[in-house]
Structure 1
Amino acid sequence: MNDPLLDAHRSEIIEMALSDHVSFADIQREYGLAEKQVKALMRESLKPGSYRAWRKRVRDFGDRRAVYK
């Protein structure tokens, strides 16, 4: 991802994605990134094990609350 705007906000986006209180819709509203783009950013920014743990947490939590990631 070579977008200068994205690069400037990369850590903020990652922090939001890791938060249990921020949905993909919130990230899209603030930064214009779709869910697939956020997942791609997380995949390239996190270690493989950390990415898998994040995706599992997002999936498991999403099963409990439809409005979550």
Structure 2
Amino acid sequence: MNISNLDSETIDRIIEMAWEDRTPFEAIALQFGLTEKQVIALMRREMKESSFQMWRERVSGRKTKHLKKRDFIQGRFRSQNQKGS
């Protein structure tokens, strides 16, 4: 998906999911078709520089933002707004 074609409601939801500690980038990719690099570019474009830097510090190295680094898979909460099984 091209990030320039996203409506404001979709952008808001992606930003919300990106800020959530337990929502992995793979969930965003599944629901919206955006890669991690595209999410980072979207966050950089839509946020103030200071907010973006704060988010990057939080996300960098965080196990919960990448499914392959997680210690858990089963039993996690899934929002009704989230697609996938």
Matched, 1:28 2:29: yes
Aligned equivalent of 1:2: 4
SS of equivalent residue, structure 2 residue 62: helix
Tell me the matched-pair count: 63
Aligned equivalent of 1:12: 13
Alpha-carbon offset, residue 21 of structure 1: 1.3
Structure 2 gaps, min length 5: 71-85
* Structure-2-length-normalised TM-score: 0.67
Alpha-carbon offset, residue 50 of structure 1: 0.7
Structure 1 gaps, min length 5: none
Q: Find the structure with the greater CA-based Rg.
A: 2
1-structure distance, mates of 2:18, 2:43: 8
**Structure 1 or 2: more helix by fraction:** 1
1-structure distance, mates of 2:4, 2:43: 15
Identity across matched positions, percent: 41
- What RMSD over aligned residues (CA atoms) do the two structures have, in Å? 1.6
* Structure-1-length-normalised TM-score: 0.81
Aligned equivalent of 2:42: 41
The one-letter code sitting in structure 2 at the alignment partner of 1:18 is W
Where does structure 1 differ by over 2 angstroms across 4 or more consecutive aligned residues?
A: none
- The higher relative CO (CA closer than 8 Å, separation ≥ 6) is in 2
Alpha-carbon offset, residue 2 of structure 1: 2.4
